[in-house]
């Protein structure tokens, strides 16, 4: 078996508004959780109660994601400011 080698350079990663994207996804997970709450009994009886807990877990992990990307974004901005200050001197 031969080793696979790329034939071209990998593109630069896209940088968008990651904080807004993660926040929006987190809100969707929590909204889905709240929408399903009135159907708790039906979900339990049908064996689909895991849908409810999946939405709650998605919202909780989304909160961790929001915390992470906000810190990452702040670190990137600090690094860029330090590089700009370095170039001025």
Residue 1, pLDDT above cutoff 60: no
Distance CA 78, CA 20 (A): 19
Statement: the pTM of the whole predicted model exceeds 0.85? no
Residue 89, pLDDT above cutoff 80: no
What is the mean predicted confidence (pLDDT) over 64-88? 94
Please report the pLDDT score of residue 12 as a whole number: 87
**Which of the two residues, 9 and 64, has the higher pLDDT score?**
64
């Amino acid at each position: 078996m031969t080793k696979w080698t790329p034939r071209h350079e990998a593109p630069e990663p896209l940088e968008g508004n990651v904080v807004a994207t993660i926040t929006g996804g987190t809100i969707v997970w929590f909204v889905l959780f709240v929408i399903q709450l009135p159907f708790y009994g039906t979900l339990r009886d049908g064996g689909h109660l895991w849908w409810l807990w999946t939405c709650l877990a998605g919202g909780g992990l989304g909160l961790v994601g929001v915390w992470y990307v906000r810190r990452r974004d702040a670190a990137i901005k600090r690094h860029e400011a330090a590089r700009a200050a370095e170039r001025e001197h």
